[in-house]
Structure 1
Amino acid sequence: MSESILIIEDEIGLIKMLKRLLDKEGFQEIYQAESGAEALSKVKEHEIGLILLDVMLPDTNGFDLCQQIREISDVPIIFLTARTTDMDKLTGFSMGGDDYITKPFNPLEVAARIKAILHRQRRTKLEAPQVFRTDRFVLHYDQAKLIVEGKEVNCPAKEFQLLKFMCQHPNQVFSVDHLYEHVWGDYSIVGKENTVMVHISRLRQKIEKDPKHPECLKNVRGLGYMLNAENQRSPQ
């Protein structure tokens, strides 16, 4: 299978067993992380297809880590843990988990649940629209193409990634930190506010009727930026 799996677990024996299981099931890229810090680095560095996440880790707990991962990725997450209470399970789902398996577990059940989630994800991606349309512009996700009033407009990679992210989350307000981390991959860089502002300004020059009075890419004072989708049209 093409999807890569990240195992976040501090028990070496369990990691080895899971790796053998996943290898037999045809997964070719299997990563491991034994701490929360290492896990976040792996998520940022690699295109992860699914995460197996333990709750009890040496530097954090899996519930908090799941919430941190959700801030930068929508990768499917399966909790794999000895925490068995109903409250633990509810916490796991409320933090963004997609499934919850308790230890000890049947390895074949783990494999089956992984395959089921990945199958649903593939189907969702196939069904998801690959175009965002408004009365003013059209963004083709798969072709990395921006069309404004019927004419193709040059859109460099970072501008495209920024606009695509906002089109995929219309009418949601995102802070500068969130936008910078998602598009540029880090939120700790000095000068990120100016970088985001410059790219927003360049996009406004391309998609707004009046860049000085933007109707699409709006600044929400004190909070961040939002793509106004009032004029969004259904994909055709």
Structure 2
Amino acid sequence: MSTEILIVDDDKEIAELIGVYLRNESYQIHTVQDGLEALQFMERHSVDLVILDVMMPQMNGLDVCREIRKEHEIPVLMLSAKTEDMDKIIGLMTGADDYMIKPFNPLELTARVKALLRRANYQPTVKDPDSIYIHSLKIDKQSHTVHAQGQEIRLTAIEFDILYLLAKNRGRVFGSEEIFEKVWNEIGTGSNKTVMVHISNLRDKISAATGEAVIQTVWGVGYKIEK
């Protein structure tokens, strides 16, 4: 079965460039030029990953990402010409899994797409425990799901991996760079804000479902889940 990737960008040249590189990796590529068209496409077709530009006519990428997250947990890679840290934080807070600044290296974008798809399609080895029970949560590695009192908490692949890392190592404090290196499998230099936003989203989802503050901040050090 082919991997379906949707590119949403009103810059035809950039969309075509991305498409060339990803088709070389045997991905099936679909391209649309505005946010509304993207949402309409996703109503009719199954998509495995979305590459989403921020600045577009009719509906910007931030609003599109919010709409995608209402129905889908597929990876979203956001693209933007904005270089400010706050723009990146806002993008991640809307539900994007990764964020790249234009202009970008197409080979790096391809590598990030592969990494996002690997996490989304991760199949654990038989050595992984079936479930971790902590507070009122059941964290199931085999199905990549989290439940609280029988109700599923919908997490992105990155949010699940962060939660699983902290839960599996209860009581241990992980710094932002270490979390980034273990979850993203990349060097964690300058990753504090990225991890902070994903932790914040994760906390909000857990708190909404359980009323509990499961992930603790150790100021100046990092994050942990207490034993």
Q: Aligned pair in 2 of structure 1 residues 88, 50: CA closer, same or farther (>3 Å)?
A: same
Deviation (angstroms), 1:169: 9.9
Q: Does the 8 Å CA contact 2:74/2:120 hold for their aligned counterparts?
A: no
Cα gap change, 1:172 to 1:116, in 2 (>3 Å): closer
After the TM superposition, list the runs of 4 or more consecutive aligned residues in structure 1 that deviate by more than 4 angstroms. Answer: 124-129, 167-170
Letter in 2 for 1:96: G
Which digits, 9 at most, give the CA deviation of each residue in 1:190-222, with x for residues without a partner? xxxxxxxxxxxxxxxxxxxxxxxxxxxxxxxxx
Partner of 1:14: 14
Change over 3 Å in CA distance of 1:168–1:111 after alignment to 2: farther
Q: State how 1:63-212 maps to structure 2 within 5 Å.
A: 63-123=62-122, 170-171=150-151
Per-residue CA shift, 1:28-78, capped at 9, x if unaligned? x21111111110011121111111000001012111110011001111000
Cα distance in 2, alignment partners of residues 116 and 18 from structure 1: 16
Secondary structure of 2:30's aligned partner: strand
Q: Structure 1 stretches of 5 or more lacking a match? A: 130-141, 143-166, 174-236
User: Residues 169 and 88 of structure 1: is their aligned pair in 2 closer, same or farther, counting only changes over 3 Å?
Assistant: farther
SS in 1 for 2:3: coil
**SS of alignment partner, residue 123 of structure 1:** coil
State the SS of the aligned residue for 1:83.
coil
In structure 2, stretches of 5+ residues that fail to align are 131-142, 154-227
2:100 is paired with a residue of what secondary structure?
strand
CA distance in 1, matches of 2:46, 2:60: 23
**Whole-Å separation in 2 of the counterparts to 1:169 and 1:55:** 37
Instruction: Decide whether aligned partners of structure 1 residues 33 and 113 sit closer, same or farther in structure 2, where only a CA change above 3 A counts.
Output: same
Quickly say closer, same or farther: Cα 1:124–1:96, change in 2 above 3 A. farther
Give the Cα separation in 2 of the matches to 1:56 and 1:169. Answer: 40
1:39 and 1:125 map into 2 onto residues whose CA distance is 32
Report the AA paired with residue 19 of structure 1.
G
Check whether the contact 2:78–2:99 (CA below 8 A) recurs between aligned residues: yes
Deviations 1:83-132 (A, max 9, x none): 21101110111110000000000000000000011111111588898xxx
Opposite residue 11 of structure 2, the aligned amino acid is: E
Distance 1:125 1:68, change over 3 A: farther
How many corresponding residue pairs?
143
Shift in CA distance, 26/68, structure 1 to aligned 2, threshold 3 Å = same
What's the Cα RMSD here? 3.4
How far apart in 1 are the matches of 2:73 and 2:62? 15
Amino acid at match of 2:57: P
What's the TM-score, normalizing by structure 1? 0.53
How many Å separate the matches in 2 of 1:169 and 1:3?
34
> Shift of residue 14 of structure 1?
1.0
CA contact 2:77–2:100 (8 Å) conserved in 1: yes
Q: CA deviation at 1:2?
A: 2.2
